[in-house]
Amino acid sequence: MVSVKHVEHVMVYKDSELAHACNQVSIVLLQNGELFLGFNEERYPVHADSGQCCYIKSKDGGKNWNASEKKVIWPYTENKGNWDCAFSQISDGTILMHTRVCNFIAPRGINYDGDQSLGMPPPGMPERLKRQTGYVVLKSKDYGETWTDPIEVNTSPIASSSLSAYACGGSGAGHIIELPDGGLLMPLDGTMSTNREVGLGNETSRCFLLRSDDGGDNWEYWSTVAFDPASIIHFMEPGMTRLNNGKLICFLRTQHKPNRQDNLWFTWSDDDGVTWSLPKKSPLWGYPAEVLQLKDGRVLVVYGYRKDPWGVRGCISDDGLNWDIKNEFTIREGGVLVPKPGKGDRTVQDMLIMAQYWHIGYPSATQLEDETIVLAYHEYSKDKQPIQYLMCTRFRL
C-alpha cells in the first residue's frame, strides 16, 4: 500500500471570462528553481485543439500561481493554431518547446439553441477544414521571456500533414530527453500514411523517436518505440524518461480496434533508444501517462483516469519494469460534470458536457528539491458554463 502524504490541491489558472478552455499541461522544474507550466489555451470555451501555447510560472514550488503573469508563446491567428505543446530544459539552460501546427481553421459559429450570446460554436465540432500541417520546435534562452521563431521539424518517414487532424503528434508529457552525449530525443506518435483514423480500418499509430545532435535545429527519425504490425493496437501519446542507470522507460496510451481503450502498455531501451523491448501490457488502466524517477530511486507513473470516479492516479515501481496494481493510488478524483437526465431540459451547457466532459487529466509531474511532487493536470470547472482549467496537486510519497 502506497502512502500519499501532505496532499494539497492548488488552482493554477482559469480564464476569468470563461471564454478560453485551458488544457494539456507540461511542467518543468527550471534550473533557477522556478516551476514552468506550459499549456494549451483554446480559442474557444471548448476543447478544439486549435489554440495557442502559453505558460505560467510559480516561484514557491507550486503553492501560488499568478494568473496575471500568464504569457502566450506563439499566438494563434485567424487561420493558424498550435497545440499539444511539451517542454524541457537542457543542460545549457535552453528551454525547448515542441508542438503541433494546424491550419485552415473555419469556425462553424452556430449554437444548438441558436443563441449567439454565449459566443461559442457547437460543442464538439467548433470548426471545419482544420488540418494538422506540421510540427515545430521553439527555443528560449532567457527562461521564457523571449522565443525563437518556429523551427520546422522533419518527421519523415512519418506523415506530418494529413487528411486527418492527427497525423503526427504526442502529448504534454512527451518531454524532450537529453542524452549524456548531448543528443536530444523527441518521443512522438504517428503513421506512415496520411490517413489515420483511430478505430477504423486504416494504419494504426506507432510511437517513435526523433533525434537531434545540434541542439534541436535539425531532427531525423531515430527508432520505432512500439508498433503493431497486425494493425489492431494503436500506440499513442508516449510518456518517456531516462533512469539513472541509463535505461529509457516509455509508457504508451493504447486503443484497440474497433474502439476500445486498453490499459497502459510500456517498453524500455538499454541503448539510448536505438532498440526497444516488445511492448508489455501493464495492470494500470488510464491515459495518457507521464513517468519520472524520484530522488529515492523509485519510478513514478501518473495518468488520467477517465471513468468513475474519474480524476488522476499514480503508481510506484522500484525499478520501472515491474508494476503492481496494489501500488496504485489516487491523486485527485472528479473533475467532470454529468449532464442532466432527459432531453427536453438540456441546455447548451449540458450539450457541452455531453460532448467533452470526459476530457480530463493529461497529467505532467516533477519533483522539487525537498522531495515534494508537483503534479499538474486539467479538469472541468463547476461554473454555470463548465470549462477546462488548470490544477496542480502537491504531495509526497
What CATH number is given to the structural domain containing 52? 2.120.10.10
Residue 386 and residue 119: Cα distance in Å, rounded? Answer: 14
Per-residue pLDDT at 241: 98
Answer whether residue 30 shows pLDDT above 70: yes
pLDDT over threshold 60, residue 372: yes
Above 90 in pLDDT, residue 28? yes
Q: How confident is the model at residue 288 (pLDDT cuts 50, 70, 90)?
A: very high
For residues 327-356, give the mean pLDDT.
70
Q: How confident is the model at residue 131 (pLDDT cuts 50, 70, 90)?
A: confident
Q: What 3-state DSSP class applies to 197?
A: coil
Cβ count near 344 (within 10 Å): 4
Per-residue pLDDT band for 169 (boundaries 50, 70, 90) equals confident
User: Considering the chain, what is the average pLDDT of its residues?
Assistant: 89
Calculate the alpha carbon distances from 164 to 125, 135, 160, 197, 369 in Å. 15, 14, 10, 7, 43
Residue with more model confidence, 174 or 62? 62
The lowest-confidence range among 2-11, 116-125, 190-199, 322-331 is 116-125
Number of domains the chain is built from: 1
Is 397's pLDDT higher than 90? yes
What's the burial of 6, exposed, middle or buried (CB within 10 Å: 0-12/13-18/19+)?
A: exposed
pLDDT at 192 (0 to 100): 84
If pLDDT is split at 50, 70 and 90, which confidence band does 58 have? very high
pLDDT more than 70, % of the chain? 85
Q: Indicate whether 88 pLDDT > 90.
A: yes
Q: Give the domain extent around 329.
A: 5-396
Helix (H, G, I), strand (E, B) or coil at 83: strand
pLDDT at 70 over 80: yes
pLDDT computed for residue 343 by the predictor: 55
What's the mean pLDDT in 279-285? Answer: 98
**Predicted pLDDT of residue 384:** 80
pLDDT for position 160: 58
C-alpha 168 chain-centroid distance: 14
122 pLDDT above the threshold of 80:
no
Confidence (pLDDT) at 345: 58
Residue 126: cis peptide before it, omega within 30 degrees of 0: no
Whole-angstrom Cα Rg for the chain: 20
- pLDDT value of position 377: 97
Percent of the chain residues topping a pLDDT of 90: 73
Residues 6+ apart with CB under 8 A from 231: 203, 204, 257
What pLDDT is attached to residue 163?
39
* Region of poorest pLDDT, from 33-42, 66-75, 331-340: 331-340
**pTM for the model:** 0.92
pLDDT at 336: 85
pLDDT tops 80 at residue 198: no
Residue 322, C-beta contacts closer than 8 angstroms, at least 6 positions apart? none
> What integer pLDDT is reported at residue 56 of this predicted model?
98
